[in-house]
């Protein structure tokens, strides 16, 4: 018998590896069987990949929940996944057992692209000392943004005025608001990170948003999901370059902006923005190998802030304007409150929020009714734990179905309707139920929550102060259904903005 060729040896090794993985999986599932969450029976090698409709994953999870309960399991190739539904299960996992469930699963695609999300940044980083250090820095910078000459609220207020001017330039004609909302929110992030804003006609702003949209499209595509659970496919020549060119291009653009900013940084001057503050931390940490303040993390944190902070807020604002043209009575009520508290003679301020319960209720109801991230960001167990009496082993990916909490019929009076009274008590005072968790819960609560809340209030009230919004004459009533990829977007729509 001749010697086996290299290709034959490789094929044999793959077969043996698959066989051993199957044996290991069967052994583990037998060991967990009594207390492991129920779920559809997986197919060897593929798990449940062909049994779950990932093109309509929200409805697929809805059906699986009704079949298996609030805590059910899936097997995505070799990746064990547990899906958590309902207020009790989600809160128990994210809050009561936060030390067990706050890790993030690895993302093989990003690592293959040269990124290290599990060790850098704040969104997908491993739950450990480096992540804690970066989160503390980012939160304190957001909270105490008196850096340089302007506060963060001033940045947002001034950008809201620019956004209103752009809306006014439409002269009451029908238009789609999404592009202008994207530019306004992106400018806020740019102000925070680089201390500068772009004119809305600036090609660099258009290029940034174009690449950001491409990145989000790639992140929500089926290719990313398949390659993450079957990472050996990443070695097919040209495959990654074909599906994920936007990730590389967006990262290169932000790296260029950081380098430009660094050239003008003067360590003797007060920090102008987050990048200056980070550069100062890098200088201070020199010689300390334990510090997470380094050039790679600077790129990762700025990437996270742009990627996670731009689309989320602008899409929420697009939902808010859509729901206002679909619910004109609520729009009039908001405007009456704005006129009574703020008037037309000055810009809205965050201090006004406490005296505007109905406006506050409307903004919160937009986030509840059309929550843009219904499945949250995946978590991973860092050690064995229990949720609702089920055993969940270390290394299991957790999907928190936030939609099931925000639409829970035992908590919300009209869960399937846009109903701002969900956030008002009988006396008309603003209240926030514990189940309102659009930013998730526990230690991994969305880093940008304080900034997002500020942007939503100041942009929304500024627009409603200046304009009345309506469905363009002769056009059908838009749908309030959405398109779900990685985020829930409204279907394309137009509106008219008429100066008040």
Please give the annotated binding residues for heme, written as ranges: 446
Contact present, 226 and 109 (Cβ < 8 Å) = no
Angle at 391 between CA 111 and CA 442, to 5 degrees: 60
Q: For 264, phi and psi rounded to 5 degrees?
A: -105, 5
Q: For 392, phi and psi rounded to 5 degrees?
A: -125, 110
Write out the H or E segment, with its range, that includes residue 159.
helix 152-168
DSSP 8-state secondary structure symbol assigned to residue 175: B
Question: 338: which residues sit within 8 A by CB, 6+ positions away?
Answer: 348, 356, 359, 461, 464, 465
CA distance 88 to 411: 12
Identify any residues that bridge with 386 across adjacent strands, giving them in sequence order. 391
Q: Residues annotated in the binding site, as ranges?
A: 446
What the block records as the tokens of 49 is 């990949």
The candidate with the shortest Cα–Cα distance to 451, out of 312, 302, 250, is 312
CA distance 292 to 234: 29
CA distance 104 to 117: 9
Question: 250: which residues sit within 8 A by CB, 6+ positions away?
Answer: 211, 212, 214, 215, 303, 306, 307
Contact present, 192 and 305 (Cβ < 8 Å) = yes
DSSP 8-state secondary structure symbol assigned to residue 470: E
Contact present, 398 and 379 (Cβ < 8 Å) = yes
Contact present, 367 and 438 (Cβ < 8 Å) = yes
The candidate with the shortest Cα–Cα distance to 489, out of 368, 244, 314, 362, is 314
Contact present, 257 and 265 (Cβ < 8 Å) = no
Distances (CA, A) of 336 to 273, 436, 480: 37, 26, 24
Annotate 452-473 with b (16+ C-beta within 10 A) or e (fewer).
Answer: bbbbbbbbbbbbbbbbbbbbbe
The candidate with the shortest Cα–Cα distance to 119, out of 269, 300, 261, is 300
CA distance 416 to 408: 9
Contact present, 335 and 207 (Cβ < 8 Å) = no
The 3-state DSSP class for residue 268 equals coil
């Amino acid at each position: 018998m001749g010697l086996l060729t290299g290709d034959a040896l490789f094929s044999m090794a793959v077969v043996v590896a698959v066989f051993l993985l199957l044996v290991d999986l069967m052994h583990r599932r037998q060991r967990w069987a009594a207390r492991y969450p129920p779920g559809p029976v997986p197919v060897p090698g593929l798990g449940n990949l062909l049994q779950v409709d990932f093109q309509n994953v929200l409805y697929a999870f809805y059906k699986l929940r009704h079949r298996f309960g609030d805590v059910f399991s899936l097997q995505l190739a070799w990746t064990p996944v547990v899906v958590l539904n309902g207020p009790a299960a989600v809160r128990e996992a994210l809050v009561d057992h936060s030390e067990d469930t706050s890790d993030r699963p690895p993302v093989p695609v990003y690592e293959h692209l040269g990124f290290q999300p599990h060790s850098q940044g704040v969104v997908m980083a491993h739950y450990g000392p480096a992540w804690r250090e970066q989160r503390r820095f980012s939160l304190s910078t957001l909270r105490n943004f008196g850096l340089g000459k302007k506060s963060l609220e001033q940045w947002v207020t001034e950008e809201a005025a620019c956004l209103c001017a752009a809306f006014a330039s439409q002269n009451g004609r029908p238009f789609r608001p999404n592009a202008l909302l994207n530019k306004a929110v992106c400018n806020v992030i740019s102000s925070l990170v680089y201390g500068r804003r772009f004119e809305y006609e600036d090609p660099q702003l258009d290029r940034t948003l174009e690449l950001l949209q491409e990145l989000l499209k790639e992140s929500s595509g089926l290719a990313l999901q398949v390659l993450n659970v079957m990472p050996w496919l990443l070695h097919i020549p040209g495959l990654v370059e074909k599906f994920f060119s936007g990730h590389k291009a967006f990262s290169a653009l932000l790296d260029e902006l950081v380098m430009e900013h660094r050239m003008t940084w003067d360590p003797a001057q007060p920090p102008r923005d987050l990048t200056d503050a980070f550069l100062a931390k890098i200088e201070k940490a020199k010689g300390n190998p334990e510090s997470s303040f380094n050039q790679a993390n600077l790129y990762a944190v700025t990437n996270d802030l742009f990627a996670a902070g731009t689309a989320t807020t602008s899409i929420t604002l697009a939902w808010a304007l859509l729901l206002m043209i679909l619910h004109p009575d609520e729009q009039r009520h908001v405007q009456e409150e704005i006129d009574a508290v703020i008037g037309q003679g000055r810009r809205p301020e965050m201090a006004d929020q406490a005296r505007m319960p109905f406006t506050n209720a409307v903004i919160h109801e937009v986030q509840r009714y059309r929550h843009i991230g219904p499945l949250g960001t995946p978590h991973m167990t860092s050690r064995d734990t229990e949720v609702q009496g089920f055993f969940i082993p270390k290394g299991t990916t957790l999907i928190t179905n936030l939609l099931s909490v925000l639409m829970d019929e035992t908590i919300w009076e009209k869960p399937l309707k846009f109903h701002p009274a969900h956030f008002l008590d009988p006396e008309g005072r603003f209240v926030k139920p514990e189940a309102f968790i659009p930013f998730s819960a526990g230690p991994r609560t969305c880093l940008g929550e304080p900034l997002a809340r500020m942007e939503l209030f100041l942009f929304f009230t500024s627009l409603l102060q200046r304009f009345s919004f309506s469905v363009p004459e002769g056009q059908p009533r838009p749908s309030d259904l959405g398109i779900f990829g990685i985020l829930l977007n409204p279907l394309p729509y137009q509106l008219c903005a008429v100066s008040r």
